[in-house]
Every structure is written in structure tokens, then in C-alpha cells.
A = this chain, B = another copy of it.
Amino acid sequence: MSFTPPQAEQRFVLDHIVRLDELAASERFADATPDMVDAVLEGVGQFAAGEWAPLDRVGDTVGAKWTADGVVMPEGFVAAYKAYVEGGWGTIGSPTDHGGQGMPFAISTAVLDTLGAANMGLALCPTLTVGAIEALMHHGSPQQQAAYLAKLSSGEWTGTMNLTEPQAGSDVGALRTRADPLSDGKWSITGTKIYISYGDHDMAANIVHLVLARTPDAPPGTKGLSLFLVPKYRLDAAGAPGDFNDVRVVSIEHKMGLHASPTCVLSFGDNADCIGELIGHEGGGIAAMFTMMNNARLNVGLQGVQVAERATQKAVAYARDRIQSARAGGASREPVAIIEHPDVRRMLLRMKAQTQAARALVYYAAGQVDRANLGDVDARKRLDLLTPLAKAHGTDLGNEVASIGIQVHGGMGYVEETGAAQQFRDARITPIYEGTNGIQAADLVGRKLGMDNGGVFLSHVADMRAEAKDAGLIALIDACEEVGRHLLTADTDDKLAASYPFLTMLSVATCGWLMERSGTIAAGAEGDPAFLSLKRAAARFYVEQVVPEAQGLKAAAMAKAEVLYALTPEAFAA
């Protein structure tokens, strides 16, 4: 079915959640004027709806294929990706000194939102390239930046992140891929990486692998890791892709969803001829990885928004079209469109509210990236605090919304032909990759909550409390503060046992704060009455019905780990 870019909603969020006018007041982002933003949203919306959305289904049904010549994308993907590069959509947020347009990250977030809602499988490719760009921007040498950044920004070349190995998933410190020094300052890379999204494909002239590996005599664990730049094809004297660099696709995974995205097993240096360059310094791999992953985590949270947006559009269209049963209690016995039935409306309004909430959360965090880049230290810290929330709660909401989308379709939702099932299957990877949501929760209570002795967390709580009006929302903010203060001094097991419920509470409080603000603004705004009525209703629903649910998590967030260890591992199988 057709895809409608959520342009009015994005503009609203950029204006009132990101507060783009404040960013545009800076010299760096002076170009991000309202007219420019409208032009970008309009342009990418037309492009995504016209070129990418129609390929979403073939991406699922045919998928990427592994062949003797490497991975072949489904029909139409090569051209659609080429059109993306030629349209300049990859360069929106990239730095101007490397061929980019230098727009705020929040704008490139909106662009990626639209592209991924149209075709999440394809949009994952540039999403990963962003991670490679960030790592090179912050840790690469001037020579590396000059050789790679412009091509990565434009999308002519794509980037990957190579962390996971069979024995090293969440525990990256356990990885074994080796980097041995060569005489010319470069490194010989040997090892096998798994779960490498877009590890190979036929849409770009080169693929730039960022590979976490261990140098000889490096200390064990994460301290011994370094990050290497390993192109699929080495650059020749002119800087163009030349000799094959001994990086092979061994297989691609047979996944439940996201079939367009080839998830590769990559083998480096089978013929001892895989050459990499160190990015940054030896032992600096983890720091570089976090640079690469932090924005990637926001962008995976954004995938939650993307899949929720598409699932909601499909469900709304179906519910307006599908005629079934008269209204209960109504005078007429004529069957109506199912959107008229109260429980279906409840599902649809929940989908809209949760999608808006996820978008508000992720864009708000994206705005902190820009503020941090403008030198706002508090914004950097706020971003650090919110990144696990945006990733975990954004993807949780994507899954919830996609599941409701199936339910709205009834039996048709379970049949693959309608396409509702695709969003449900696609969504399920997002709470897993780029750090499982459990890892995000551990990051929240283990690293982020304690920043500045809790000051960063308490400052966020104070901002929410200063603006919140609804009594239930204020109660939830209070509960978050109580739980957060408790967890600051809790022991490690208790912290971790409570981490996920706490993450959800704090995420919902944050969303509630932003949603309430949106509703208030929509109530006083002039504009499209239908859109404003939707904003008001979604905000009311969220504050009145979703926020109280999170209060129900307080008991779990205050619970101790003890109950979890009151039985042995064997007893779980009793």
C-alpha cells in the first residue's frame, strides 16, 4: 500500500520538541531555516514514497541473496539506492568540509525517519554508514578523513560495524579477531565477524568495514581492542577502489525479518592479504566503538519510530476500509468501517500515541546531539542519559505498535499478503542489535544514572517536573526520582534487576512530558484542524492512559534481585 510521509508531524516535533529555531540561531546551523526544513521534508518525503516505499515488500519477499559473486540485492534496490545518493539525501547532516550539507543531526534524523518508514530494510544501509562517518570524524586521521569521508557522506561507499564474533556478543571484550602490524604502519587483519548488516551488497562501489580487533600483546578484555578501517577494495593511487582486500562473505543469515538487509558472516584475511588502518590509537577501540554506536543507538531507536509509523499507516488504512459489524448500542444495524468500533479506535489511537511518543523521545535526543555539537556540555550529558532510553524504549514501542497493527488487521494480519506481518517481523530485531535493550538498561543504571553523582538524571527530572501539569504525570516523575535515588546507592545486582522497569518508567515519563507539551501547543495552535485534533487526542490518550501504566512498574523497579536468585539455574528447568 502507499506510504504518506509524516511531514506535518515531523515539522511539529522539530519545532516544538527539538526547538529547531534555537539551533538555527547559531552560526553553524543558520541554514536550517523553516523554509529549508520544509523543502527537505517535502523532498525526502516525495522521494521515499515514490522510490523506496514500493520496494519494501520485495525486500521482504525476495530479500538479499548470497551468491558466489557476493550479495545481490532484490530487484530495484540498486537503482533506488543510486537515486538516494544522487539526490544528496545522505549528505544532509554530514560536515560541509567533506561534501556534506552540515544540517543539524535532528534534520538528518527526520530524513532517515522518512526513508526508514518507507523501507526500513534499505534505510539500514545508510544508517550504518552514519556510524562509520562518526567514528572517522572523531577518531580518524586527516588522511583517512580525506580519503573516505566524502564518499561515505554521499553514500557512494557504505560503512559497516564489525564487532560481534560467535563467542563475543554483548561481551565485545571476548573477541579474537587479530590485527598484526605490517612494516608500512598498516595492519594485517585476520578473523571472522558475524551479524554484519550490509557486510556485502551490490549497491556501492566500495564498502568500508570498521573492524574491532586485538593487537599482539594487547591486554585482555576491552582494553586490548583497537578499531581498524578495512575497505572491501583497497584505494588505488587515485583514491578509487582497486585491489580486492581479502574480505569474504562466508554466508548470510536466514532471519525472521528485515530480509532486505543482508546479515553477513565476514571472513577477514583468509589469504593473509587483508590490510587495515588503525583508527585513532592502539587500545582506543572501545572509545571509538562507543562514538560509532552512540548515534547508531539513536538511529536504531529511530527504527522503532519508522516501523511504528508504517505499521500505523497500514492499520489506519485497513480500519477505514474494512467494513464489519454495526456499532454496538447504535440505532443503525448497518455495518460500519471498523475504525468506528471503540476497541479498534483504542488500538489505533494507541498506535498513533505511541508512535508520536517514540518520535518525540528520539528527536529530542537527536536535538541534544546538535546542542552538544554547539558546545553545550549539559546537552551532551543529557544525550548520554537519554541514548539508552531512545534505543530501548523506541524499539519496544516499535514492536508494540507493529503487534497492534497485526491485531487491527485480524486474520488478514497473520496472512503475509497484506504486509502487516512484515513490520511485525522486521521490528523484532531492533531490541536486539546495537546493544540489546537489556544492555541499554544496564548502561542506564550502571553508567548514566550515576553521572555527576546523579546530577544529570536529577536535572532531567527537574526539567520535566517544571513543565508537567497532569497529576498522574507528576506522580510518575516523582516515582522516577524516588526509584533513581534508590538505585544510585543500590548494590549492583539490585540495580541490574530493576534496570529494565526503571528504564521503561523513565522513558514513559520523558515521553509523557513531551507529549503533554505537544498537546498543549496543539490546543493553542492554528493550522490543519484534523492534524491538531490528532495531536491533542494522542497527547490526552498518552498522558491519561499510558503514563499510569508506567506507574505500575514502580514495584518492580524498587524490587531487589533476591527473588531472582531464590532458585538455582537447575530449578528453572524443574
**CB atoms of B493 and A442 under 8 A apart:** no
Contacts A256-B421, A432-B414, A555-B548: A320 and B403 contacting too (C-beta < 8 A)? no
**CB atoms of B403 and A169 under 8 A apart:** no
C-alpha gap A552/B553 in the complex (Å) = 8
C-alpha gap A346/B563 in the complex (Å) = 9
**CB atoms of A563 and B349 under 8 A apart:** yes
**CB atoms of B171 and A325 under 8 A apart:** yes
A432 CB contacts on chain B under 8 angstroms: 406-407, 410-411, 413-414
Picked from B492, B496, B563, the residue with its CB within 8 Å of the CB of A541 is B563
Contacts A545-B555, A573-B316: A406 and B424 contacting too (C-beta < 8 A)? no
A110 CB contacts on chain B under 8 angstroms: none
Distance in angstroms from A435 CB to nearest chain B CB is: 10
Contacts A170-B324, A540-B566: A500 and B256 contacting too (C-beta < 8 A)? no
A544 at the interface (CB under 8 A from B): yes
A101 at the interface (CB under 8 A from B): no
Residue of B whose beta carbon sits closest to that of A571: B530
Give the dominant DSSP class at A's interface: helix
**CB atoms of A4 and B573 under 8 A apart:** yes
Stretch in A298-306, A329-337, A373-381, A509-517 with 4+ CB within 8 Å of B = A329-337
C-alpha gap A8/B441 in the complex (Å) = 35
C-alpha gap A195/B406 in the complex (Å) = 16
**CB atoms of B340 and A574 under 8 A apart:** no
Contacts A446-B328, A566-B537: A320 and B253 contacting too (C-beta < 8 A)? no
C-alpha gap A442/B559 in the complex (Å) = 35
- Map CB proximity to B onto A323-360 as digits: 1 under 8 Å, 0 otherwise: 11100110001010101111111111100100000000
A417 at the interface (CB under 8 A from B): yes
Chain copies in the assembled complex: 2
Residue of B whose beta carbon sits closest to that of A326: B171
**CB atoms of B416 and A569 under 8 A apart:** no
Residue of B whose beta carbon sits closest to that of A340: B569
Contacts A320-B572, A407-B436, A541-B563: A174 and B348 contacting too (C-beta < 8 A)? no
Picked from B255, B407, B499, B559, the residue with its CB within 8 Å of the CB of A414 is B255
**CB atoms of A343 and B500 under 8 A apart:** yes
Most B Cβ at <10 Å: residue of A171, A407, A424, A573:
A573
A549 at the interface (CB under 8 A from B): yes
A232 at the interface (CB under 8 A from B): no
A534 CB contacts on chain B under 8 angstroms: 567, 571-572, 574
**CB atoms of B536 and A544 under 8 A apart:** no
Distance in angstroms from A380 CB to nearest chain B CB is: 25
**CB atoms of A410 and B500 under 8 A apart:** no
A407 CB contacts on chain B under 8 angstroms: 431-432, 436-438
Number of A interface residues at 8 Å Cβ cutoff, please give it.
109
**CB atoms of B573 and A496 under 8 A apart:** no
A17 at the interface (CB under 8 A from B): no
Residue of B whose beta carbon sits closest to that of A492: B329
A528 at the interface (CB under 8 A from B): yes
C-alpha gap A446/B341 in the complex (Å) = 14
Picked from B323, B340, B499, B544, the residue with its CB within 8 Å of the CB of A555 is B544
A550 CB contacts on chain B under 8 angstroms: 552
CB proximity to B under 8 Å, residues A500-545: 500-501, 528, 530-531, 533-534, 536-537, 540-541, 544-545
CB proximity to B under 8 Å, residues A19-61: none
A256 CB contacts on chain B under 8 angstroms: 414-416, 421, 424-425
**CB atoms of B567 and A537 under 8 A apart:** yes
C-alpha gap A206/B543 in the complex (Å) = 56
A369 at the interface (CB under 8 A from B): no
**CB atoms of B549 and A563 under 8 A apart:** no
**CB atoms of B548 and A563 under 8 A apart:** no
Picked from B194, B424, B492, the residue with its CB within 8 Å of the CB of A328 is B492
A425 CB contacts on chain B under 8 angstroms: 256, 425
A164 at the interface (CB under 8 A from B): yes
Picked from B316, B333, B349, B556, the residue with its CB within 8 Å of the CB of A221 is B333
C-alpha gap A564/B171 in the complex (Å) = 46
Distance in angstroms from A352 CB to nearest chain B CB is: 7
**CB atoms of A329 and B491 under 8 A apart:** yes
A226 at the interface (CB under 8 A from B): no
6 A–B contacts from the bound complex (CB under 8 Å):
A316-B572, A345-B561, A425-B425, A534-B571, A541-B564, A552-B552
Going nearest first, the 10 A-B pairs with the smallest beta carbon separation are: A552-B552, A329-B492, A342-B496, A548-B555, A171-B325, A530-B571, A345-B564, A530-B574, A549-B552, A531-B574
